[in-house]
Amino acid sequence: MAIIISQDGKNAQRVDKSDFEREGYLQNYIHENPESIPVYEIEEDKKLFVVAREFSTESGPIDALAIDKDGDIYVVETKLYKNPDKRTVVAQALDYGASLWRHSDYNEFINKIKNEINNKFKISFEEKTKDFFNINEEQVNIILDVLKRNLKQGNIKFVILMDAIEDRLKDLIVYINQNSQFDIYAVQMEYYKFEKYEIMIPKLFGVEVKKDVKTTKNSGTLWNWELFKQRLKDFGEEEVTAAEHIIEWARKNNIEIDWTSSQRGSFILCFETEGKKGFYPLSVTGDAMISWNAPHQGNYSPPPFDKPEKRAEILKRLKLVKGATIDSGNVDGYNGLKLPLRAITNDDARREFFSVCSWIKETLETEE
């Protein structure tokens, strides 16, 4: 395939697809430009932080090891189409994942990553992670907790990165995703050169079928407090205590708790209005976060929160909660609020959070 480049609608030039000469160049490119891996097609705000190249395992070196802000671990394997090993690339990636799970001690694992980051960027892993994901120290600690649990449980995702992907490999990835617990994605990276510029066009395969599978699997298991408490214990007793505070406050204030059937578990605070539909702006997730849930309803929220400026006022008030990360301009996006659950164990933060919840309740009641 060729692309056409022009300037101001004139002087169009055809640019033919180029070839990567070495797999090492492709590895280095994603290390230096992790945004070229289009995981934002999985979730809008998702991006990968490539923490190491040639990460050693018992089965050999992983081309690239990456993480995201949810604490998920990604094994990234690169192959050029001309490489005769391309047919075994999925098995190779799974072998690396199994080796990470079976033979890696967490302290050794995280120390290797920290050394890689320090050697490359001359700052600590924690500082680089804060900067890369634009998060605070508390959220970095949560990422570390989730990384530890994912490594222990073997929850590892896989990205196969190639310059061209044959249909047989696409079919294999669809089959594995549809019939297993694995998350495997293929990225086809088309490469073009024009004068001093390089143009990369990435295309992601494997995401849509996985979304459908998760919807089917999740629909059968409804979370409850006992299951959710066990999940939160993986983070710490502070998270359990914070969730108990929220549930107890909801009970005392006649706010319903709606348990979901999502993969990681969550519950939603349901502000019901008599004779009208409810309002569900906040959720507590199995990732030990209090999250912004209002985009589910948007302008179909009950008055007065059917107005974006009124929903934005909730975020404005939540800014006063110590530990909260607020994006006031993202009122209809899920990044409007990120609040570590453990922050609610602080008396002042908890008082401020419940003050906002009470204001939501009172505002809805005033409209009745």
pLDDT averaged over every residue in the chain: 86
Q: What percent of the chain has pLDDT over 70?
A: 92
Judge if 140 and 274 occupy the same domain: no
User: Per-residue pLDDT tens for 264-277?
Assistant: 889 999 998 765 67
Q: What is the pLDDT of residue 276?
A: 62
Least confident of 9-23, 153-167, 224-238: 9-23
Which residue is listed with tokens 């699997």?
217
> Which of the 8 DSSP states describes residue 135?
-
User: Per-residue pLDDT tens for 57-106?
Assistant: 999 999 999 999 888 999 999 888 777 666 688 999 999 999 988 777 88
User: Per-residue pLDDT tens for 177-234?
Assistant: 877 778 899 888 887 888 888 888 888 888 755 444 444 344 446 788 989 999 999 9
Cα–Cα distances (Å) from 197 to 95, 187, 360, in that order, read: 36, 21, 52
**Residues 279 and 360 sit within 8 Å (Cβ to Cβ):** yes
Judge if 138 and 285 occupy the same domain: no
For 224, the token pair is 């409850």
Judge if 316 and 207 occupy the same domain: no
Strand partners, 291: 283, 338
Task: Identify the domain boundary among 185, 218, 251.
Answer: 218
Judge if 156 and 18 occupy the same domain: yes
Task: Identify the domain boundary among 186, 218, 250.
Answer: 218
CA 250 – CA 228 distance, rounded (Å): 17
Judge if 174 and 271 occupy the same domain: no
For 243, the token pair is 């969730």
Q: What is the pLDDT of residue 218?
A: 42
Judge if 188 and 254 occupy the same domain: no
* pTM score of the predicted model: 0.57
Q: Is the pLDDT of residue 45 over 60?
A: yes
